[in-house]
Amino acid sequence: MSIRTRFAPSPTGYLHIGGARTALFSYLFARRQGGVFVLRVEDTDRERSTPESVQAILDGMQWLNLEYDEGPFFQTERMDRYRAVIDTLLATGHAYHCYASKEDLDALRAAQEARGEKPGYDRRYRDFTGTPPVGVAPVVRFRNPLDGEVVVEDGVRGRVVFANRELDDLIIARSDGTPTYNLTVVVDDIDMRISHVIRGDDHLNNTPRQINLYHALGAMPPQFAHLPMIHGPDGAKLSKRHGAVSVMQYREDGYLPDALLNYLVRLGWSHGDQEVFSRAEMVSLFDIDGINHSAASINPEKLRWLNQQYLKTQDPSVTAVEFSWHLAQAGLSDATGPTPEALIRAYADRVHTLVELTEAARPYYAPLTGYDPQALAKQDASAPEVLDALSRALADAALWSSVESLDQAVKQVAEQLGVKLGKVGPLLRLALLGHSNSPSLGVTLSLFQPAEVAARLAALRAHWAG
Q: Name the one range near ligand GLU by CB under 6 A: 7-15, 164-172, 242-250, 374-382.
A: 7-15
* Residue 52 or 349 having the CB closest to ligand GLU: 52
**DSSP H stretches of helix in 289-369:** 300-313, 316-329, 340-347, 354-365
Shortest spacing between CB 95 and ligand GLU, in angstroms: 20
Dihedral over Cα of 313, 347, 331, 262: its sign? positive
* Residue 10 or 309 having the CB closest to ligand GLU: 10
Q: Based on the shown chain and the rule CB under 6 A, indicate whether residue 9 belongs to the binding site for ligand GLU.
A: yes
Q: Is 240 considered catalytic here?
A: yes
Q: Based on the shown chain and the rule CB under 6 A, indicate whether residue 334 belongs to the binding site for ligand GLU.
A: no
Q: Based on the shown chain and the rule CB under 6 A, indicate whether residue 299 belongs to the binding site for ligand GLU.
A: no
Shortest spacing between CB 42 and ligand GLU, in angstroms: 4
Q: Based on the shown chain and the rule CB under 6 A, indicate whether residue 8 belongs to the binding site for ligand GLU.
A: yes
CA-based nearest residue to 238, from 157, 295, 302: 295
Which residues fall within 8 angstroms of residue 293, CB to CB, at 6 or more apart? 156, 157, 228
Residue numbers 17-36 binding ligand GLU by CB under 6 A: none
Shortest spacing between CB 199 and ligand GLU, in angstroms: 4
How many residues bind to ligand GLU according to rule CB under 6 A?
Answer: 7
Q: Name the one range near ligand GLU by CB under 6 A: 6-14, 142-150, 289-297, 320-328.
A: 6-14
Q: Based on the shown chain and the rule CB under 6 A, indicate whether residue 10 belongs to the binding site for ligand GLU.
A: yes
- Using CA atoms, how far apart are residues 232 and 298, in angstroms rounded to an integer? 5
Q: Name the one range near ligand GLU by CB under 6 A: 5-13, 135-143, 260-268, 312-320.
A: 5-13
Enter the DSSP assignment of 178: P
Q: Which long-range contacts (CB under 8 A, 24 or more apart) does 325-331 make?
A: 325/251, 326/254, 326/354, 326/355, 326/357, 326/358, 327/358, 327/361, 327/365, 329/252, 329/358, 330/358, 330/359, 330/362
* Binding mask of the shown chain, residues 160 to 199, with x at each position contacting ligand GLU by CB under 6 A: -------------------------x-------------x
Contact with ligand GLU (CB under 6 A): which of 38, 42, 323, 453? 42
Helix (H, G, I), strand (E, B) or coil at 71: strand
Half-sphere exposure of 10 (CA within 13 A, CB side): 12
Q: How far is CA 242 from CA 231, 236, 304, in A?
A: 9, 9, 15
Shortest spacing between CB 10 and ligand GLU, in angstroms: 4
Dihedral over Cα of 171, 172, 178, 179: its sign? positive
Q: Based on the shown chain and the rule CB under 6 A, indicate whether residue 232 belongs to the binding site for ligand GLU.
A: no
Q: Name the one range near ligand GLU by CB under 6 A: 2-10, 262-270, 386-394, 455-463.
A: 2-10
CA-based nearest residue to 168, from 220, 224, 98: 98
Integer distance in angstroms from the first to the last C-alpha of the chain? 85
The answer to whether the beta carbons of residues 41 and 9 sit under 8 Å apart is yes
Q: Based on the shown chain and the rule CB under 6 A, indicate whether residue 203 belongs to the binding site for ligand GLU.
A: yes
Q: Angle 127-129-130 (CA atoms, 0-180°, nearest 5)? A: 130
Shortest spacing between CB 188 and ligand GLU, in angstroms: 9
Catalytic member of 102, 237, 240, 312: 240
Q: Name the one range near ligand GLU by CB under 6 A: 4-12, 31-39, 61-69, 243-251.
A: 4-12
User: What residues line the site for ligand GLU (CB under 6 A)?
Assistant: 8-10, 42, 185, 199, 203
Tell me the catalytic residues.
240
